[in-house]
Amino acid sequence: MNKTTGAVKGKRVVMVCGVPMDMANCPVRDVMDNIGGKWNSLMILSLADGPLRFSQLRRLIPDISQRMLTQTLRDLQRDGYLSRTVYPTQPPSVEYRLTDLGRSFLVPLKLFVDWSLQNHDAIRKARAEYDQVA
């Protein structure tokens, strides 16, 4: 089962699922913050098939506010998932494009998307049953 590695005292590293998990400074939690927000993963997916401009992303994701679109793009740019290119046209246009890092993330993200679509009904059903009992 879960056994702490006795290597270093004080380091809370646990073998989980065949992988060393650092419970104190957890890379998984760190990455999860990047894509666990309300719009982050959807943004990466939206750019999967090619670069898009700001206004194109707005139209593609109608529910997002202008503020959150900007902020989500900044966050993802900051952590290296996408790049921002300004074309000095008139009026100006800004293109957002997945980096190599961002594209490599599409592999696990795509698997997650597939799982969500397959099991979404089962989850909603479990939720409804739980709420009915309670």
Q: Which is nearer to its own copies, 29 or 92 (CB)?
A: 29
Given a contact cutoff of 8 angstroms between Cβ atoms, the answer to whether 46 and 61 are in contact is: yes
Among 1, 7, 8, 86, binds its own copies (CB under 8 A): 1
77 binds DNA (CB under 7 A): no
- For residues 98 and 44, is the Cβ–Cβ distance under 8 A? yes
Angle at Cα 66 formed by Cα 64 and Cα 68, nearest 5°?
65
Give residue 106's Cα distance to chain centre: 9
Query: What residue 55 binds from DNA, its own copies, none (CB within 5 to 8 A, per partner kind)?
Result: DNA
Q: Which is nearer to its own copies, 59 or 90 (CB)?
A: 59
Q: Does 84 bind its own copies (CB under 8 A)?
A: no
DSSP-derived secondary structure for 32-91 = HHHHSSSSHHHHHHHTTTS-EEHHHHHHHSTTS-HHHHHHHHHHHHHTTSEEEEEE--SS
Q: Which does 49 bind (CB under 5 to 8 A by kind): DNA, its own copies, none?
A: its own copies
Contact residues for its own copies, defined by CB under 8 A: 1-2, 12, 14, 16-17, 19, 21, 23-24, 26-32, 34-38, 41-42, 45-46, 48-50, 52, 60-63, 77-80, 101, 104-117, 119-120, 122-123, 125-127, 130-131
